[in-house]
Structure 1
């Protein structure tokens, strides 16, 4: 089903953070100093983008987490706590997806023992993003607006629906997953309404298909 595939890609795409080949157009007629500053910001976003991609390729969970925004880290930690407690009531669909996925793939004792970085590494080692997704990911058309930046995420040279967003925190650019997770929430809720099912049922179907498509260890 195309809709389910799109939902799965959006949900899994929340973790597709990075790529290479950043390009941006500067406004014509802007003062030279403004163009230089904008160019420096685009370069800095590019460096964060590439660093995150390298961290994913290296399956380095700690480095991946260090490149996420504060809001993104808060949502990741909330997801982990929900998986530990088993209480997913009130969570948005994207966080339910994460919590239910952790419960399926990890035993309670392992989930309690592992740090967030180790959980990220476990997911990367088990190809939760799908074979070759990271190596085929890239980003184009970066735009910077104050302390926020965004670009078009592409996989295998094709644009995908998952936003590539960044936020400047403490002078450094971080990957911001907020809009990508909000998009996943909207897709799951819309599908649940259209198919007259619960959000949990839709999330379970996405997880089932993700497990079916998981590459062997």
Structure 2
């Protein structure tokens, strides 16, 4: 696990793939949906994002992402510049992981000047979006209502205990990554439990694996505005 988008995609895929399930084994064939008119466009948005993430094509990736993720990344950017470890001590582990990853993997000059959308683009370009995790996911049943849609997620053929959310912005369906970030903490806890580690120990291990001990310690310090 070398890359993160707050490790949400990669951890959620891993947790789902490893956790026992009481539901019947599912095939990887997407289920038919009652919202037949909307499901092709929703699937197209997901497939476009997946291909962009795997190709590290940030320009295409941001074109199919809904607006909430850009505001979230702007918050991460500001914290990367100014927040001390004490400031972040009560923050969710997912947020802390995102801040540390930006410090360790993005040029400080970019963090100081990039717009929210530019920062997400750079994150995709540099492979910080959990592309290995999302490559194992596909959509099942899609339910659309008005300008929102939810899609059942299949992880290596198993139905995941969460869904992807899509919103229609300016007439185009886009993937809303925000709910995945909100699930990052439970994903951390699940994988940490499987490895007999506390969430904090697991975060330390991820940072050490990504950067080595010396840089892992450095990313806990603010970069300065």
TM-score bracket, shorter-length normalisation = 0.5 to 0.7
Deviations 1:11-69 (CA, angstroms, capped at 9, x unpaired) = 3417999xx9644332xxxxxxxxxxx32111221121122122223311122122222
CA distance in 2, matches of 1:170, 1:150: 18
Q: What's the counterpart of residue 81 of structure 2?
A: 84
In structure 1, the gaps of 5 or more residues are 27-37, 213-217
TM-score, length of structure 2 as denominator length = 0.62
Matched, 1:75 2:83: no
Please, which of 8, 28, 32 is the counterpart of residue 24 of structure 1?
32
Residue 69 of structure 1 aligns to a residue whose secondary structure is: coil
Given the alignment of the two structures, is residue 171 of structure 1 paired with residue 171 of structure 2, yes or no? yes
Partner residue, 1:99? 99
CA contact (8 A) 2:10 2:131 kept: no
Structure 2 partner of 1:34 = none
Aligned to 1:33: none
Q: CA–CA distance in 2 between the matches of 1:190 and 1:46? A: 28
Residue 85 (structure 1) shift: 2.5
User: 5 Å matches for 1:37-76?
Assistant: 38-76=35-73
Q: How many residue pairs get matched?
A: 191
Change (3 A) 1:185 1:52: same
Q: Comparing both chains, which one has the higher relative contact order based on Cα–Cα distances under 8 Å and sequence gaps of 6 or more?
A: 2
Deviations 1:81-110 (CA, angstroms, capped at 9, x unpaired): 211223553644322211111112345345
Residues 71 and 14 of structure 1: CA distance in aligned 2, closer, same or farther (over 3 Å) = farther
For the structure 1 residues 131 and 14, does the alpha-carbon distance in structure 2 shift closer, same or farther, using more than 3 Å as the test?
closer
Consecutive unaligned residues of structure 2, counting only runs of 5 or more, are: 14-27, 213-225
Other structure's SS at 1:40 match: coil
